[in-house]
Chain A
């Protein structure tokens, strides 16, 4: 009785010794293993186990970054990101929910559709229910507290100006990356840095709590454009109106502040609505002002005039005999609309006489003309950095035929974009200095370096001629703006088809400068394939220029030429009469 397991029986100590020894060995094993795992660094040690634990419980999520706003020069928003909520579901959990009907109602979808989609995703753990919903709507759905339905914060881009500035601003894709226009060009600036946070989830995959921010989200920067939304709207309206009136296929217009190089407005037809992807036409996203290069035709003649004046062989008053109203060059005969007789160089440009320009070109050769074209920025991309911008082309030949030398002088055999034409004319308005164009707003008083490319006297002589083009003898009487004197040059160009020039399809062009007493605003207008008899630059494009310029001068507070000045005091007392 006295014997039990705890009291060593005399003569039998080995049993106890064995048991205690075994227990000690076991304990040592456990401690040893612990030391191995916790202290000694080995392959499947502490780090490994911690990682395994985290893999099962810790998840990381993106913190969306706010995409920078784009505004016009006066701070009006042109592209703005708004917070939205994307609703998603876990089909695994939602699949056999008895509240599918309620959810479908709240989403405005039919229950059968929802069920079908859930079946389609039955093996998955994630499915979009509705992307980019307004927060109010999403909160109403989330407020139902249906298991397996979640919300994710995202941003959606809105374009308040809609189609009016659609091609300049461009687009972002559904993930918020710029894919066209300035959204693409300034992606690096606009796009913030997406942050990352870590959270702990429970067995069901629901987040329990955030454990920390791995990388904070940094919002993108705002971009202020040189565009003035009021001018943009005005230009858009006038261009649309012209397209309707002329029955044209397409059109483009651009207005530039020659002094600062800022692009104040830039519009195209056809347009698209950037806020709706339902009816989306990729062709309409093209910003023709920078992507369409065409032969500039007669609008290039002022540059030829520069070359002629620079040689010193011609002045504005040199006489050129254009009779009998046509001239043979090689195998081609170049006609004028009528026989102008002996006219001055100035009148040659005013009338846009092919014979006159041909004679000038033959007298000086093509080299001086090409030199002027190059200095005016033709054949090279402008400085605006717009995606898809074309640089046009200048001919580069070893041997020039007689007709090639001549056609170069009146704008065939080279291509230019409307923006390049505007840039070239801006040099006239800028006393011969070439200021780099920009789509970004310049700070008030910012020094704009301009590179002198022609003598100021020649620029001013060309302006005189451009003004005369809108005079009673010129081709662009319809470009006149009431109350202001303007100048410009028309162009009517044959469109090019797959097999040469198309006989009855034209581009109507006008590029103009205003106001003449203090030239500053340059506008180029292109009407693509106007129908009917009024297909020429003077008939189809010049009136559009006039209406745009009228608005530009008014909105930019230019003083009309006519004498309407009143002292400030008088104006404040009785201006309403």
Chain B
């Protein structure tokens, strides 16, 4: 008889608890999804910056530009053979 007396209230409590759990999980899913969207937005902006900076760097560091600057501004040239020095690392 125990089951009949306590069964009903227990069932009601369980149903209520699961209702609340559903509300909670739906809410947190929404919150997480909002977070995800925000993070994706940030990711997008960061990627924009990253690619732009990469492109900028490779433009500034292009061998063509470096060669031109070295030649024209810094008056550099390829050393002739007499100026070659080979540095050898020796293990003592």
| A residues apposed to B, CB below 8 Å | 66, 76-77, 80-83, 135, 153, 158, 160-161, 164, 210, 212-213, 229-230, 233-234, 482-483, 554, 559-560, 562, 564-568, 571, 575
Contact = CB atoms under 8 A, between A and B. Distances in A.
A575 B84 contact: no
Nearest to A234: B63
A153 B44 contact: yes
Given A77-B54, A158-B55, A568-B89, A483 B47 contact: no
Contacts of B86: 559-560, 564-566
Given A82-B52, A83-B48, A571 B85 contact: yes
A210 B33 contact: yes
B28 interface: no
B87 A568 contact: yes
11 contacts: A83-B44, A153-B44, A230-B63, A233-B64, A562-B84, A564-B84, A564-B85, A565-B85, A566-B86, A568-B89, A575-B85
B63 A160 contact: no
Given A76-B58, A83-B51, A160-B62, A560 B81 contact: yes
Contact of A567 (B54, B81, B90): B90
Contacts of B52: 82
Contacts, number: 73
A413 to B, nearest CB: 41
Interface residues of B, number: 26
A63 to B, nearest CB: 8
Interface string B24-55: 00000000010011000000100110011011
Contact of B55 (A153, A160, A229, A571): A160
B11 interface: no
B84 A210 contact: no
Interface string B50-81: 01101100110111100000000000001011
A279 to B, nearest CB: 20
B88 interface: yes
Contacts of A80: 51, 54-55
Contacts of A212: 33
Nearest to A566: B85
A565 B54 contact: no
Given A77-B54, A560-B81, A575 B47 contact: no
Contacts of A229: 63
A482 B82 CA distance: 11
A160 B58 contact: yes
A565 B51 CA distance: 43
B85 A82 contact: no
A554 B52 CA distance: 32
A567 B87 CA distance: 6
A565 B88 contact: yes
Given A160-B58, A564-B86, 14 more contacts: A77-B58, A82-B47, A82-B48, A82-B52, A83-B48, A83-B51, A164-B64, A210-B37, A233-B63, A483-B84, A564-B81, A564-B84, A565-B86, A565-B88
Nearest to A233: B63
A135 B46 CA distance: 12
A82 B50 CA distance: 8
Contacts of A567: 88, 90
B51 A82 contact: yes
Contacts of A560: 81, 84, 86
A151 B89 CA distance: 59
Contacts of A233: 62-64
Contacts of B36: 213
Contact of B59 (A160, A554, A564): A160
B34 to A, nearest CB: 9
**Leading 4 A-B pairs by shortest Cβ distance:** A82-B51, A160-B58, A233-B63, A571-B87
Nearest to A483: B81
A158 B88 CA distance: 41
